Amino acid sequence: MTKTKEHNTTATAVYGSEEMVRPAPTMTIPETMTPPEVAYRMVKDETYAQTQPRLNLATFVTTYMDDYATRLMNEAIAMNYIDQTEYPRVAVMTSRCINIIANLWNSPEKGESKTGAVGIGSSEACMLGGVAAWLRWRERRLKAGKSVDKPNLVMSSGMQVVWEKFCQLWQIELRQVPLTSENRTLSPKEAIKMCDENTICVVPIAGVTWTGLNDDVEALDKELDKFNKETGYEIPIHVDAASGGFILPFVSPETKWDFRLKWVMSISTSGHKFGLVYPGLGWVVWRDRTLLPKEMSFSVNYLGAEVTQVGLNFSRPAAQILGQYYNFIRLGREGYRDIQQNSMEIARYCHDRIGKMKCFENYSKEVVNPLFIWSLKEEYNKSAKWTLYDLQAALQQSGWMVPAYTLPKNIDDIVVMRIVVRQGMSRDMADMLLRDIENAVAEFEKLQSPTTSRLQYEKQEKQRGKVFTH
First CA to last CA distance, the chain = 54
Same domain, 246 and 391: no
Going across the sheet that includes 415-420, the strands are 360-362, 371-376, 415-420, 404-406
Per the CB < 8 A criterion, the answer to whether 354 and 402 are in contact is no
Distance between CA 128 and CA 339 in Å, rounded? 29
Q: Can you spell out the DSSP letters for 50-95?
A: SPPGGGB-S--S-----HHHHHHHHHTTT-BTT-TTTSHHHHHHHH
Contacts of 134 (CB under 8 A, 6+ apart): 151, 170, 172, 200
Which pLDDT score, from 0 to 100, does residue 83 have?
A: 84
- DSSP class of residue 24? P
- DSSP class of residue 214? B
Same domain, 115 and 213: yes
Same domain, 28 and 77: no
Same domain, 23 and 77: no
Judged by DSSP in three states, 119 sits in strand
Per the CB < 8 A criterion, the answer to whether 18 and 8 are in contact is yes
Same domain, 366 and 431: yes
Which pLDDT score, from 0 to 100, does residue 306 have?
A: 65
Which pLDDT score, from 0 to 100, does residue 267 have?
A: 98
Which pLDDT score, from 0 to 100, does residue 465 have?
A: 74
Which pLDDT score, from 0 to 100, does residue 464 have?
A: 80
Per the CB < 8 A criterion, the answer to whether 269 and 125 are in contact is yes
Same domain, 364 and 222: no
Q: How many residues are listed for the chain in this entry? A: 470
- CATH number of the domain within which 165 lies: 3.40.640.10
Which pLDDT score, from 0 to 100, does residue 4 have?
A: 46
Same domain, 81 and 223: yes
Angle, helices 427-444/388-397, rounded to nearest 10 degrees: 120
Contacts of 36 (CB under 8 A, 6+ apart): 10
pLDDT, averaged per 10 consecutive residues of the chain (470 residues), comes to 49 77 87 88 80 88 94 94 86 96 97 93 96 98 97 96 96 97 94 98 97 97 98 98 97 97 98 96 97 88 68 89 97 96 97 97 96 97 96 94 93 94 94 97 97 94 71
Q: Is 465 a domain residue? A: no
Number of domains in the chain: 3
Same domain, 367 and 434: yes
Distance between CA 347 and CA 66 in Å, rounded? 22
Q: Is 464 a domain residue? A: no
Distance between CA 79 and CA 323 in Å, rounded? 13
Alpha helices (runs of H) in 255-371, residue ranges in sequence order: 319-355
Which pLDDT score, from 0 to 100, does residue 154 have?
A: 98
Please give the single-letter amino acid code of residue 132: A
Contacts of 442 (CB under 8 A, 6+ apart): none
Report residue 373: phi and psi, to 5°: -125, 160
Distance between CA 287 and CA 263 in Å, rounded? 10
Domain boundary at 304, 328, 352, which? 328
Same domain, 7 and 87: no
Same domain, 429 and 283: no
Same domain, 276 and 379: no
Q: Is 51 a domain residue? A: no
Q: Is 111 a domain residue? A: yes
Q: Is 61 a domain residue? A: no
Q: Is 60 a domain residue? A: no
CA angle 201, 409, 246 (to 5 degrees): 50
Distance between CA 289 and CA 46 in Å, rounded? 48
The range of the structural domain enclosing residue 233 comes to 71-328
Q: Is 334 a domain residue? A: no
Burial class (CB in 10 A: 0-12, 13-18, 19+), 387: buried
Which pLDDT score, from 0 to 100, does residue 467 have?
A: 59
Q: Is 336 a domain residue? A: no
Residue among 212, 114, 111, 215 nearest 155 (CA): 215
Domain boundary at 299, 328, 357, which? 328
Report residue 127: phi and psi, to 5°: -65, -40
Which pLDDT score, from 0 to 100, does residue 48 have?
A: 73
Same domain, 380 and 409: yes
Domain boundary at 282, 303, 328, which? 328
